Each structure stands twice: as structure tokens, then as C-alpha cells.
Structure 1
Amino acid sequence: PPAVTGIEEGNIVEVIAGPFKGEKARVQRIDQAKEEVTVELFEAMVPIPITVRGDHVRVLEKEVN
């Protein structure tokens, strides 16, 4: 299954691999074709969108509609 399955824009995720491991972020955009997600880190002084592989994030919270 694609790595981005179950991830939606607005979800709160934790980065579980790479240089931002342990950081919490909000999902901004999802690229189904590349299986990547663009997230914005909460801890960053300036909100910078970073793109990580879909299997490098774990969903903590779903957006409540």
C-alpha cells in the first residue's frame, strides 16, 4: 500500500525518521505519486514547509471536521 495511505491534509504527525525525527508537524500537502508529504514543523521559529517520505511520519491526530 502507498506510504501516504491514511494521511490527510491538516493531520498532526510526528516525524519518525531523518533529521527532523521526533518533531511534530501539521500536514500541508500530500503527493500521492511520489508518496511524499509536505509538513510544517511546530517547533520551527519560522514555519518552513519541508517534504518528507510518507513512511517517515506517523499520524498523531486526525483533523476533526
Structure 2
Amino acid sequence: MSLDRVTVITIVRESIGMVDWSLALRIFSFGLLAVFCSLGILIGAIYGFGKVLKAFEKD
């Protein structure tokens, strides 16, 4: 079975229309926030670990 170009475009348009864009945007925003928060926590942990190592080296 071969689909022509018009049929494929119609299927894609109908699929896009069925997406709840408000929910998709909220999920995307939450994911982006989680990524940057995790990155901030990781940077903070590395910085804190470096401070602890420097404190031990001074002794």
C-alpha cells in the first residue's frame, strides 16, 4: 500500500490538530526546569566538594 503526498500531509495535519498544546507546553516546561535544576544541583555539589577538598589540604 502506497500513500501519496496529499494523504500523508492530511494525516500529519490531523495528528497535529489532536495534540493538546497546552499540556505539551507544560510538560516541556517542567522537563526543561528539571534539567536546569539538576544541572544547578550538580554544579553546586562539585563546587562544595572542591571547597571541602581545599579545606582538607590546608590542614
For Structure 1 versus Structure 2, the TM-score category normalised by the shorter chain is: under 0.3
Bigger proportion of residues as helix: 2
Structure ranking higher on relative contact order (CA contacts 8 Å, 6+ apart): 1
User: Which of the two has greater strand per residue?
Assistant: 1
TM-score for the superposition, normalised by structure 1: 0.16
